[in-house]
C-alpha cells in the first residue's frame, strides 16, 4: 500500500519537465564570450548580482561524486534582475518570483562556445524572455 501511495504522490508531484533553452554560437573564446555577456547586461543598465562558475564546480567535484565525465571545458551563468521588469511581472503574478533572478549562460564544450538562456513561461514572463534574447543575441554578435 505504501508503494502505491508513493507512486500516486510522485505522479501528482513529479519532477519538473526539462527546461527548453535557446543558444547562440559564439565565434571566439570563452573569455571573450563572458566579456560580451557582461558588457551586454551592463549596457542594458542592469547590474550582475552573481557569476556562477558552474563549469569549474563540475570539473572540481566530478571525482568526488564518482564521475570522470567532463561536461564542459568551461561554463558560467550570469544572474541579474531588472527592477522595472521584475516589478511588472510580479504585479501580474507574484509567483513569477520563482523566475528571478534571470540568467544568461556561456558554455564551452570542446571549443564550441555558446551563449544562451532558459525559456520562461507564457504570459508576462515573455517580456523578460525578450530581454534575455536581446542580451544573448547582442553578446553572440547576432
What integer pLDDT is reported at residue 18 of this predicted model? 60
What integer pLDDT is reported at residue 6 of this predicted model? 36
Q: Which domains does the chain have, with CATH numbers?
A: 21-140 (3.30.310.70)
Segments in the chain below pLDDT 70: 1-18
Q: What DSSP character marks residue 52?
A: E
- Return the closest-CA partner of residue 140 out of 21, 22, 25: 25
Where helices occur in the chain by DSSP H, the ranges are 2-12, 30-43, 54-61, 83-92, 125-140
What integer pLDDT is reported at residue 12 of this predicted model? 40
Torsions phi, psi for 93 (to 5 deg):
-160, 110
Amino acid at each position: 500500500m505504501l508503494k502505491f501511495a508513493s507512486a500516486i504522490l510522485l505522479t501528482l508531484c513529479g519532477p519538473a519537465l526539462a527546461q527548453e533553452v535557446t543558444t547562440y554560437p559564439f565565434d571566439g573564446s570563452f573569455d571573450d564570450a563572458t566579456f560580451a555577456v557582461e558588457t551586454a547586461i551592463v549596457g542594458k543598465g542592469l547590474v550582475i548580482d552573481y557569476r556562477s562558475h558552474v563549469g569549474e564546480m563540475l570539473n572540481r567535484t566530478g571525482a568526488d561524486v564518482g564521475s570522470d565525465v567532463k561536461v564542459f571545458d568551461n561554463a558560467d551563468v550570469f544572474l541579474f534582475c531588472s527592477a522595472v521588469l521584475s516589478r511588472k511581472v510580479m504585479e501580474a503574478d507574484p509567483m513569477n518570483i520563482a523566475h528571478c533572478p534571470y540568467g544568461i549562460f556561456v558554455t564551452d564544450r570542446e571549443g564550441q562556445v555558446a551563449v544562451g538562456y532558459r525559456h520562461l513561461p507564457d504570459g508576462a514572463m515573455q517580456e523578460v524572455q525578450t530581454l534575455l534574447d536581446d542580451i544573448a543575441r547582442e553578446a553572440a554578435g547576432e
